[in-house]
Amino acid sequence: MIDRWRPAAPVTYTLIAACCAVFALGPASGLNPAYGAGEALAAAQRAYYHRWGVVPADLFEGSARAALTPLTALFVHGGWVHLLGNMLFLYVFGAMTEERMGRVEFTLFYLGCGCLALLGYAAAGADSAQSLVGASGAISAVLGAFLYLFPRARVTSLLPFLFFLPLRFPAWLVLPFWAALQWIAANRASTGPGVAYLAHVVGFTLGFLYAWARFTRTTTVEAAPARIPEGENQS
């Protein structure tokens, strides 16, 4: 958590609501009886992920349907833990980032970086038939942008090697550490089902670079102050 009041962030909250609604209606939640149970439910889940998730082998064949999946995959999640973890990160870091960027820019930033993160992951394994779903690439981009925009914001972290004590650290310490863990995990990850750590790395890098390019302060030359008329005071 960030030790600051979170302003109204309609785009962030709309994204959270959309992901939750899609999940609740889909087969992974187990809440929709239309998908059945047991083996029928498992088959429905596999078909659902293949239809709406990014499948690298299909994506690079040039299919019009597959070309849309980097966008649709951002709203599909593979389970309750997957959904809740992503939405927590988006809730904590999205509001302040949205406030800084503005609603329209934040929307385009989130969707654009999310799609690019999934494309980067797919390009690294272009022959894979494994479906990739989830908003973590886009949320990683939000983390990268947050690091540049609010490096001194205090982030409450739970560290397992310190018995999960809630400790507060600045974002410039927590987020690079998180990104480094993703990079290490991406290099060690094997092919097949699992967490798409490479998408996290790509998204985080894109988000940081975008914020750096967009919000870097430029040097300006101020004009000399005008002469103060007699009888007026300078405050």
Q: Please report, for residues 51, 102, 130, 214, the alpha-carbon distance to residue 63 in angstroms, rounded to integers and kept in the order given.
A: 12, 34, 16, 34
Measured at the CA of 226, the angle between CA 224 and CA 231, to 5 degrees, comes to 145
Question: Quick one: which of 140, 133, 152, 39 has its CA closest to 82?
Answer: 133
Which among 77, 131, 140, 200 is annotated as catalytic? 200
Phi, psi for 159 (deg, rounded to 5) = -100, 120
3-class SS of residue 168: strand
Question: Quick one: which of 46, 14, 51 has its CA closest to 27?
Answer: 46
Active site residue 82: no
CA distance 81 to 83: 5
Phi-psi region of 161 (alpha: psi -120 to 50; beta: other; left: phi over 0): alpha
Which among 77, 128, 131, 136 is annotated as catalytic? 136
Single-letter residue type at 175: L
201, 182 contact by CB (below 8 A):
yes
Count other Cβ atoms within 10 Å, centred on residue 173: 12
Active site residue 136: yes
34: its two tokens: 């239309």
Residues acting as catalytic residues? 136, 200
